[in-house]
Structure formats: C-alpha cells, structure tokens
C-alpha cells in the first residue's frame, strides 16, 4: 500500500492525470466552436494522439541526450538533430521518395543520425567542453536550414505554405491510423532507450567515470544515439521542428524525482505527451479561428526557459 503513495508513484499518478486532462481538453476545445462527433473523431482525436506521440518522443530523446553529453542544454532541437531530420525529409521531397517504414520517413531518420554522428565526432574531438557542442549544433542547424531554404526557393510555390508551417512544427495533418502508429512506435523506442537507464545514469557524471564504473560506453553511446535518431526522425517527419519540449520536460521532471533514469525516462514520456497535447490545444485556441503552428507556441515558452538555464549555469560556474 505504501508503494502506491511513495514520492515516485505520486509522480507517476500526477503525470498520468495531467496527460488525461490535457487529452480531454484537446478533444474539447478547438479553433471552431461546437463539437460534433465527426469533428472530434476525425480531427481532434488524431491530433491529440499525434501530439502525445511527438511530445513523448521529443521529451525522452531530450532526457537521453542531456545525459549522454552530460550537458543540461542539449535536446534534439538545440543541438541540430531535428534539423538533420528536417533536411532528410526535404531531400526526400526533392528526390520524390521518403523510404517510408512503419509510418516514419527513413530519410528523416538518416538525416538525424548523420547529424548526431557529426555531433559526437565534434564532442569527442574538441577540448572546449560542452559549449562547443552547442555551437556545433547551432552550425548544423544553420547548415540544414540553408539547404531547406534553398529547396523552398526552387520549390513549387503552391506547396510553400504547407511546407512552411511544417517547418515551424505543425500537427494539423494528423490522421488516425498514422497517429496511432506513431504513438506505438514512440512507446516501443522509449522502452528500448529506457533499457539503458543504468548507462544513462553513469553518463551523468561524465564518460570517463561511466567507463570506470563498468559501462561499455562505446556500445551504450551507439545504442542511445541510434534510438534517439529514430525517435527524432519519427517525430520530425510527422510534425516538423517542434523545439524545446525535449529541453523543458526533462528539467521539470528532474525537479520532481531527481536525475536517475529508471523513473525519469517513463515520466518524461508521460509529461512530454501531456505538455505537447496542451501546447497544441493552446495553438488551436489562442488565435481562433486561425491556428498557430505548435512549434511557435513551444518556442515562445521554451526559448526564455533556455536563457534562464544558461544564466543559472553561469551563476553556478
């Protein structure tokens, strides 16, 4: 009985309740008033499921990246892995195939993986520490964004509007079957990532210490980067560049249950799902009858948080 009310299980109950609430809210509100069955079933439900999947995937990917690089400012968006996935998707649009597998773009995965491996290379070669990693991430983002802009200049102008809102992070194209598939995929990948909780814990105190504690750091790093890349590829190919969920959620959950990944990762999944579902409701609601891209909402909340983190780190160092 005690276990039901311990600090950690309270955290699980709270997270699940938050997710249920935001999911209900997402079905209830929208950019147009009224709610008939078709509207909820065909538009809002798939969208809420997709928001849950993308939020969960980005949050757990952020938590894993922060541990892997032992850097609290990491997440798929800030270090450019999302940009890699975007570039991959755009390359797919140019060559006319996405190599779709299980509902995600294979090219988005390849793009994410290539950028992630580049980052690993920079992180290992540079002696300047964690800030050089972020700078490298920003450069990768510029590089990816320039190529994407190049594509937009030459692309068919009728498709630009859709492409632009996808780039900003957009869940409006959700369909029920695809959304359910995405959610299933994210949950499976999250489980694989969670299997490495012991290694991720050890990475928190640095790679050398992790190795000294008995973690096969090379193998663990390969696995983590691989699963993170698929997750990011999956999220970006369906929702575009949604930033800062992967940054914010892990930090908020850590305040509640600490940094150890046995509990942190599952809670990030649930809170990530809850928060992006809520953010998407906001995106549909605040400017009604128009809809904002959800990435704009997360960036408006997330970017100030990022600055606050940077300042707090500066104060600590």
Residues near another protein (CB under 8 A) are 66-67, 70-72, 194-198, 201-202, 204-206, 208-217, 254-255, 258-260, 262, 313, 316
Residue 96, CA atoms < 13 Å, CB-side half-sphere: 0
Q: Is 169 left (phi over 0), alpha (psi -120 to 50) or beta?
A: left
**Residue ranges of the alpha helices (H) in 43-155?**
45-68, 81-95, 106-125, 130-154
The residue (of 175 and 313) whose beta carbon lies closer to another protein is 313
Report the chain's terminal Cα–Cα distance, integer Å: 43
Q: Which is nearer to another protein, 4 or 316 (CB)?
A: 316
Rg (the chain; Cα; Å): 19
Q: Closest approach of Cβ 254 to another protein, in Å?
A: 6
For 216, the 3-state DSSP assignment is coil
CB of 102 or CB of 212, closer to another protein: 212
Q: Counting runs of H as helices and runs of E as strands, what totals does the chain give? A: 15, 2
Closest approach, Cβ 294 to another protein, in A, equals: 28
Residue 6 Cβ, how far from another protein at the closest point, in Å? 13
What's the closest the beta carbon of residue 69 comes to another protein, in angstroms?
Answer: 10
Minimal distance, residue 87 CB to another protein, in Å: 29
Nearest distance in Å: CB 11, another protein:
14
Cα distance between residue 160 and residue 152, in whole Å: 7
176 or 204, CB closer to another protein? 204
User: Nearer to another protein by C-beta: 238 or 267?
Assistant: 267
What residues contact residue 54 under an 8 Å CB cut-off, 6+ apart?
171, 182, 186, 235, 238, 239, 242, 245, 276
Instruction: Please report how close the Cβ of residue 228 comes to another protein at its closest, in angstroms.
Output: 17
Query: By C-alpha distance, which of 235, 239, 233, 190 is closest to 63?
Result: 190
Give whichever of 124 and 177 is closer to another protein, judged by the CB atom.
124
Residues contacting residue 212 through CB under 8 Å, at least 6 positions apart? none
Considering beta carbons, is residue 202 or 232 the nearer one to another protein?
202
């Amino acid at each position: 009985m005690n276990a039901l009310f311990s600090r950690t299980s309270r955290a699980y109950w709270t997270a699940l309740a938050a997710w249920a609430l935001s999911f209900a809210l997402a079905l209830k509100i929208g950019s147009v008033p009224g709610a008939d069955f078709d509207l909820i079933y065909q538009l809002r439900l798939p969208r809420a499921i997709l928001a849950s999947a993308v939020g969960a995937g980005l949050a757990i990917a952020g938590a894993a990246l922060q541990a892997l690089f032992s850097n609290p400012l990491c997440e798929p968006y800030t270090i450019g892995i999302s940009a890699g996935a975007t570039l991959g998707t755009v390359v797919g649009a140019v060559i006319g195939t996405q190599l779709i597998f299980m509902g995600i773009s294979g090219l988005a995965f390849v793009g994410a993986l290539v950028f992630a491996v580049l980052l690993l290379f920079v992180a290992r070669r540079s002696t300047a520490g964690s800030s050089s990693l972020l700078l490298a991430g920003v450069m990768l983002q510029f590089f990816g964004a320039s190529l994407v802009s190049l594509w937009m200049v030459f692309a068919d102008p009728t498709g630009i509007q859709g492409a632009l809102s996808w780039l900003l992070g957009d869940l409006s194209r959700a369909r029920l079957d695809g959304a359910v598939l995405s959610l299933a995929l994210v949950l499976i990948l999250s489980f694989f990532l969670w299997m490495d909780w012991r290694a991720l814990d050890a990475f928190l105190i640095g790679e050398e210490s992790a190795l000294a504690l008995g973690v096969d750091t090379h193998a663990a790093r390969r696995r983590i980067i691989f699963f993170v890349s698929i997750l990011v590829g999956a999220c970006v190919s369906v929702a575009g560049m949604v930033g800062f969920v992967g940054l914010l959620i892990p930090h908020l959950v850590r305040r509640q249950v600490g940094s150890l990944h046995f509990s942190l990762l599952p809670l990030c999944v649930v809170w990530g799902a809850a928060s992006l579902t809520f953010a998407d409701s906001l995106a549909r609601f605040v400017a009604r009858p128009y809809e904002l891209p959800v990435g704009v909402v997360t960036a408006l909340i997330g970017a100030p948080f990022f600055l606050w983190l940077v300042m707090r780190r500066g104060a600590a160092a």
